[in-house]
Amino acid sequence: MAKVLIADSGFTKTDWRLIHSDGSIEQARTAGINPYYQTEEEMQTVIKDLYDQIPDKVAEIYFYGTGCSSGTNREKIARILSKYYSSAKIDVNHDLLAAARSLCGEEPGIACIIGTGTNSCLYDGEKITHNVPSLGWAIADEGGGTYLGKMLVTDYYRKDMPAHLREIFKETFGLTKDKFLTHIYQEPMPGRFLASFAKFIGQHINEPYMHQLVTAGFDTFITKNVMKYEGYDQLPVHFTGSVAYYFNGILRQVAQEKGIFVKHVSEYPIAGLTLFHK
């Protein structure tokens, strides 16, 4: 078996797996790649970091990433990869196909991503047959880290958060309104910044307010995404992503109340992708 390199690239990080010819697996991690928000020079810096970790000759590269639904973006990433792995066959796909192949394998199902952002699709065991448009963090991404962070911070500044939690939030972040707005409107990666507050939610998830915040986010995601697919109440529904994984108890409860069977919930798609391509 020739060496195969697999990538699962999200907003914040990229997980890499190199499958050697003897079946052994090597791991690497770099910063995330998103062609909608990064220049080719910035993306090339990430791939250079990868090459410093994995300078091997590779026969095939399967890159799955955020922002790769666009043909132009796929070409950009393939071009950068080819600068360092010139002899490799390169296949660039959307992270949604990564989720489907990782979670469903060769079986039909509904695959969902709830991490920093969100997405979903109907998968027939070979290809994606339908996708409810995600529309990104500024408009939708219900239930994801950016969405939950946005709801949390909005409640903080409008004093809809319980007083004792507002005090803890203030002590933890010391974030004035002006400083917050500067992060959102004048600094890069505002979605990633908002998603960083999901950790605070997790640290206080036993608080009724936090539990309800996550419950409402998942309820909205399922209603506006999962329940739009034909057979949603008959097919297995799978989830990947840090928010789905760490709040999977709440996620399963919300889904069950809507008559939806949740099968696999994983933190990252990379393990399932490695099995798919091995």
Q: Could you tell me where the DSSP H helices lie in the chain?
A: 40-53, 71-84, 95-104, 145-157, 163-173, 177-186, 190-195, 198-203, 208-224, 242-246, 248-257, 270-277
Residue 46 lies in a domain: yes
Q: pLDDT digits over 188-232, tens only?
A: 888 889 999 999 999 999 999 999 999 999 999 999 999 999 999
pLDDT at 1: 54
> Model confidence over 72-81: pLDDT tens digits?
999 999 999 9
Q: What's the token pair of residue 77?
A: 């990433």
Please give the share of the chain, as a percent, with pLDDT higher than 70: 100
Number of Cα atoms under 13 Å in the Cβ half of residue 115: 23
Domain with 50, as residue range(s), is 4-98+271-277
> Does any domain span residue 141?
no
pLDDT tens, position by position, 235-258: 999 999 999 999 999 999 999 999
Please state, rounded to an integer, the average pLDDT across all residues of the chain. Answer: 94
> Does residue 2 surpass a pLDDT of 80?
no
Quote the pTM value. Answer: 0.86
* Cβ contact 144:224 at 8 Å: no
Q: One-letter amino acid identity for 106?
A: E
Which one has a higher pLDDT value, 55 or 154? 154
Q: Is residue 206 in some structural domain?
A: no
Quick one: average pLDDT of 42-47?
Answer: 95
| Rounded CA separation 271/61 (Å) | 16
Q: Are 16 and 29 in contact (CB under 8 A)?
A: yes
Tokens encoding 247 = 């709040």
Answer whether residue 91 is part of any domain: yes
With cut-offs at 50, 70 and 90, classify the pLDDT of residue 88.
very high
Q: Which of 10-14, 128-132, 142-146, 177-181 bottoms out in mean pLDDT, i.e. has the lowest?
A: 10-14
User: Which residue do the tokens 């959102």 mark?
Assistant: 184
Instruction: Provide, rounded to the nearest whole percent, the portion of the chain with pLDDT above 90.
Output: 83
pLDDT in tens, 90-113: 999 998 999 999 999 999 999 999
CATH of the domain at 90: 3.30.420.40
DSSP codes of every residue in 161-190: S-HHHHHHHHHHH---HHHHHHHHHHSS-H
The residue-averaged pLDDT of 3-31 equals 91
Residue 278 pLDDT:
81
Question: Domain count of the chain?
Answer: 1
In a domain, 21, yes or no: yes
